[in-house]
Amino acid sequence: MKELNELNLPQDVNYSTDHEWVKLSGDTAKIGISDYAQDQLGDIVFVELPDVGDSFGQGDEFGTLESVKAVSELYMPVGGEVTAINEALEDAPELVNNDPYGEGWMIEIKVTDASEAEALMDKDAYLESLKG
């Protein structure tokens, strides 16, 4: 497992307490899991994502990740309607481990309330939360 100082934590995303990240672009957002979360889970072998058109509120479960260690739920960092899913994860779930903020993104949504994203943690606050 990585030490905290080895984690890849980009400045341009916001983080939830459930270890999801959100990157806003206007009224849309990409969502995935943090480098910390993928590191804790280990090798991801299956990703279950919602359907395009599904709507979720902030904090709602939107999918699951299965790793060699455990099954983990995914929670919406912000509410919205799913406009795209990363279909590449169906055949290559390891993209989440290899590139959690790039090729390993999970869903794209039309955001219901952008202020929900602004209330999430920035990199520094997230790192502090990981230190416990």
Domains belonging to the chain, first-starting first, are 10-113 (2.40.50.100)
Residue 129 has pLDDT above 90, yes or no: yes
Residue 132 has pLDDT above 90, yes or no: no
Q: What is the mean pLDDT of residues 26-44?
A: 97
Q: Which two tokens stand for residue 37?
A: 């979360």
Please report the pLDDT score of residue 112 as a whole number. 97
Q: What is the mean pLDDT of residues 105-109?
A: 98
Residues 6 or more apart whose Cβ sits within 8 Å of residue 29? 22, 23, 78, 80, 108, 109, 111, 117
Please report the pLDDT score of residue 8 as a whole number. 97
Q: What does pTM read for this prediction? A: 0.96
Q: What is the mean pLDDT of residues 71-77?
A: 98
Total length of the chain: 132
Q: What is the mean pLDDT of residues 71-96?
A: 98
Query: For the purposes of burial, counting CB atoms within 10 Å of the CB of 100, is it exposed (0-12), middle (13-18) or buried (19 or more)?
Result: buried
Residue 39 has pLDDT above 90, yes or no: yes
Q: What is the mean pLDDT of residues 66-89?
A: 97
Q: How confident is the model at residue 118 (pLDDT cuts 50, 70, 90)?
A: confident
